[in-house]
Amino acid sequence: MTSHVARLYALAGSLLALFLAWLGIAAQPWQAAAPDPQPPALASLERRLGEDAALLAELAAAQRQASPTVRVVTLPR
């Protein structure tokens, strides 16, 4: 290979093949997704977290409403 252009094409092709092989191996298309072992437990946890988030939102709203207003008072000397 005395042609520099041919060497560049060979290098580009080999890099492309390397990254395509890497992509194919990393994707692991031969493995099927495993079913979730505990869907009821996860559903109840998700429901509880949603209820806790709603409670926190209510508490934050109540705290914002109950906060006193700021007054500037000038004291005598």
Count Cβ neighbours within 10 Å for each residue of 43-64 and write b for 16 or more, e otherwise: eeeeeeeeeeeeeeeeeeeeee
| Mean pLDDT computed over 24-52 | 83
> Residue 27: pLDDT above 80?
yes
User: Across the chain, how many H-helices and E-strands are there?
Assistant: 2, 0
What stretch of H or E contains 21? helix 4-27
Q: Mean per-residue pLDDT for 48-76?
A: 88
Cα(54)–Cα(48) distance, integer angstroms: 10
pLDDT mean across residues, the chain: 87
The pTM for the full model equals: 0.38
> For the residues 27-52, what does the mean pLDDT come to?
83
Residue 17 reports pLDDT greater than 70: yes
